[in-house]
Amino acid sequence: MSKKVIGLPGDGIGPEVYAQAVRVLKQLDEQFNLNIDLHEHQIGGAAIDLHGNPLPQETIDACRDADAILLGAIGGPKWEGLQGADRPEAGLLKIRKTFNLYANLRPVSLQESLSELSPLKKDRLVGVDMLIVRELTGGLYFGKKFREGDSATDTCTYSVSEIERITRLAFSIAKGRRNKVSSVDKANVMETSRLWRETVNRIHTQEFPEVDLEHVLVDACAMHLISKPSAFDVILTENLFGDILSDEASMLSGSLGVLPSASLSKQDPSQGIALYEPIHGSAPDIAGQGIANPAAMLLSVAMMLRHSLQHEESAALLEKAVFDSWNAGVFTADLSNENSVGSKAFTDSVLSNISRSV
């Protein structure tokens, strides 16, 4: 039975890194007989240009029948004058809401070959291996927004049920890791954070008492990510805090261009739609130059293979092929100022590593 994957190349460097992901996916499909049925559709600025809508109904209908969605990147200066639901980013928010993609998983670990790229000293980076579990369909991004005169308002809203489901996922994942959850909030000043903390405590006491739990205020977490990053295992947090903290944590590994992510609609990704994407943006300043780092996109493909397509062997092989390229000194321009390679050449190295390993 074939596995239907919907590709959404998007904007900026999105189509460039997506094209390299397709090359890798096709080779793995051939080598492992994965039987992947890949179709491409538009989202973001590209969809606005073609359809006048950042998430056309055609794209929604295609994704509804998919086993997984693979996204490049969204947005750029071309569409900066658009407002609200007309902006490219509105397409991403809408696809999250439409398919109930409530949980965003962002793994952060450090490969030895990239350790020199981190702004932190090496001794601070020993043992860094964390997973940020971010609630993705609530909070400020989805609350009511309005302007009145010279003031503007964004409302932050969370329900108990929204907090419960992301909390259960974080605790379940922690049981398979180092058994620790750091729940991040701002409970000293925000009512939504007080509800968040109360709910997390209840789920912990009633359902996951064997997992270690700590509560960390978001400002303290931001400091601890720099001062003692190896102390974190699973970081559980709401939408806005997770967005900011995961970008901060990406610097531990040296570049936004090396970290993947998954957005889930079900605790078991094979039972529902999941979206996979690099955490970097559309980087319009380098779009079209062929120098974008495709590593985060390729590692997002590996997450898709593992979680949605249930093929651990090809996922592990792809991850190893990316890491082996770095170990061999094959770096794109964001990782090295000397002898750097372009998007295609880096992917050529990854494909070569895959071929040698089979």
Buried b / exposed e over 256-265, threshold 16 CB at 10 Å, is bbbbbbbbbb
Respond yes or no: is residue 186 known to be catalytic. Answer: yes
Catalytic residue among 49, 61, 219, 268: 219
CA distance 137 to 92: 11
Which backbone phi and psi does 300 adopt, to 5 degrees?
Answer: -65, -40
* Catalytic (active site) residue 247: yes
Burial class of 96 by CB neighbour count within 10 A (0 to 12, 13 to 18, 19+): buried
Is 219 a catalytic site residue? Answer: yes
Which residue among the candidates 11, 18, 102, 141 is catalytic per the annotation? 141
SS3 of residue 56 by DSSP: coil
Which residue of the set 247, 266, 320, 344 is catalytic?
A: 247
**Cα Rg of the chain, angstroms:** 20
Say how far residue 332 (Cα) sits from the centre of its chain: 20
Helix or strand (DSSP H, E) at 220: helix 218-227
Task: Check: CB of residue 346 under 8 Å from CB of residue 339.
Answer: no
- Of 4, 97, 180, 186, catalytic: 186
Active-site residue (options: 11, 185, 233, 243):
243
Which residues does the annotation mark as catalytic? 141, 186, 219, 243, 247
